[in-house]
């Protein structure tokens, strides 16, 4: 089946009032190709270091790694809008952020980058946008702050917290982001954020009142066994399917029923 036309920044922004956006992570060409038919946007998330590389959190992801995986995803999904996550420590100030974002654009065909942070990152985001970088924001629970915050803490639980989140969303919208990931936020708060801004708000653990959803692919395919956050729905039991397939392979090797005539030259 042919893939739908690749979305542009403008069509992503316009989707806010027209339809809900489907966003999924991918880290390689193999899976990116499989996702292309249904995904509006593929995010090369720094979650790759947890779901693919067995690390405890995302903080060890490097820019080289992100660029390598973004290239693989773009090769697999040539017709899909791809966002590259800027890893921890690569956007601490305007100069560093711009230098590293330019590296992503020069060394991969990524359509945009993603940066974690709210109001405190607004000036930095404005500078990136001014220099021709398309930026997706990310507020609420910020995985890159997990060590500083002492865990993955759900946000938007108090009126003060909700007010701060809305201020964050408005500040980075004003700075120029074209869409915004809102993670780990009470559903009522996420809906208020989505209502407060004109750009699409993509939720993850943020309830059903936003403008689209993103999940980490290895979670939603049931491949990641280490833990399952409450917000994850497993659309298939990938780990069982994979284990059963490999067990069948082993059994057939051991009892000489593989390869058969049709697999033999």
CB 221 within 8 A of CB 234: yes
Stretch that binds ligand KIV, among 4-12, 26-34, 41-49, 122-130 (CB under 6 A): 41-49
- Residues that bind ligand KIV (rule: CB under 6 A) add up to a total of 12
R_g of the chain, CA atoms, integer Å? 20
DSSP for 113-161? EEEEBSGGGHHHHHHHHHTT--EEEEEES-GGGHHHHTS---B--SHHH
**Three-class secondary structure of residue 123 per DSSP:** helix
Q: Which residue has the tokens 């000489």?
A: 256
Beta bridge partners of 23: 41, 214
Query: What part of residues 78-117 is at the interface with ligand KIV (CB under 6 A)?
Result: 85
Closer of 128 and 180 to ligand KIV (Cβ): 180
- Note whether 204 binds ligand KIV by CB under 6 A: yes
Instruction: State the minimum distance, in angstroms, from the CB of residue 44 to ligand KIV.
Output: 8
- Note whether 46 binds ligand KIV by CB under 6 A: yes
List, by residue number, the catalytic residues: 183
Closer of 105 and 231 to ligand KIV (Cβ): 231
CB 183 within 8 A of CB 138: yes
- Note whether 216 binds ligand KIV by CB under 6 A: yes
228 secondary structure, DSSP code: -
Stretch that binds ligand KIV, among 45-53, 152-160, 189-197, 240-248 (CB under 6 A): 45-53
Going by C-beta distance under 8 Å and a sequence separation of 6 or more, which residues neighbour residue 16?
A: 198, 199, 200, 211
Closer of 227 and 265 to ligand KIV (Cβ): 227
The one among 83, 113, 181, 223 contacting ligand KIV by CB under 6 A:
181
Instruction: State the minimum distance, in angstroms, from the CB of residue 144 to ligand KIV.
Output: 9
The one among 110, 214, 220, 223 contacting ligand KIV by CB under 6 A:
214
- Quote the CA–CA distance of 220 and 234 in Å, as a whole number: 4
The one among 45, 137, 140, 200 contacting ligand KIV by CB under 6 A:
45
Q: Which residue has the tokens 């964050």?
A: 168
**Three-class secondary structure of residue 73 per DSSP:** helix
Residue ranges binding ligand KIV (CB under 6 A): 25, 43, 45-47, 58, 85, 181, 183, 204, 214, 216
């Amino acid at each position: 089946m042919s893939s739908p036309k690749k979305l542009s920044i403008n069509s992503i922004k316009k989707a806010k009032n027209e339809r809900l956006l489907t966003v999924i992570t991918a880290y390689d060409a193999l899976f990116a190709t499989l996702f292309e038919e249904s995904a509006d946007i593929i995010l090369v998330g720094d979650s790759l270091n947890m779901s693919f590389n067995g690390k405890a959190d995302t903080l060890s992801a490097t820019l080289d790694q992100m660029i390598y995986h973004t290239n693989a995803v773009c090769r697999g999904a040539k017709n899909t809008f791809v966002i590259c996550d800027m890893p921890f420590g690569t956007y601490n100030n305007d100069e560093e952020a711009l230098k590293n974002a330019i590296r992503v654009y020069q060394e991969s065909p990524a359509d945009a980058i993603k940066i974690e942070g709210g109001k405190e990152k607004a000036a930095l985001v404005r500078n990136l946008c001014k220099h021709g970088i398309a930026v997706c924001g990310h507020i609420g629970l910020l995985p890159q702050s997990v060590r500083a915050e002492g865990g993955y803490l759900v946000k938007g639980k108090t009126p003060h917290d909700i007010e701060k989140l809305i201020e964050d969303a408005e500040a980075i919208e004003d700075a120029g982001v074209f869409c915004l990931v809102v993670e780990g936020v009470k559903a009522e708060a996420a809906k208020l954020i989505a209502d407060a801004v004109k750009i699409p708000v993509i939720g993850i653990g943020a309830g059903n009142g936003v403008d689209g959803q993103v999940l980490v692919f290895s979670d939603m395919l049931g491949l990641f066994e280490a833990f399952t956050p409450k917000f994850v729905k497993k659309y298939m039991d990938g780990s069982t399917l994979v284990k059963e397939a490999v067990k069948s392979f082993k059994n057939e090797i051991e009892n000489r029923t593989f390869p058969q005539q049709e697999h033999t030259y």
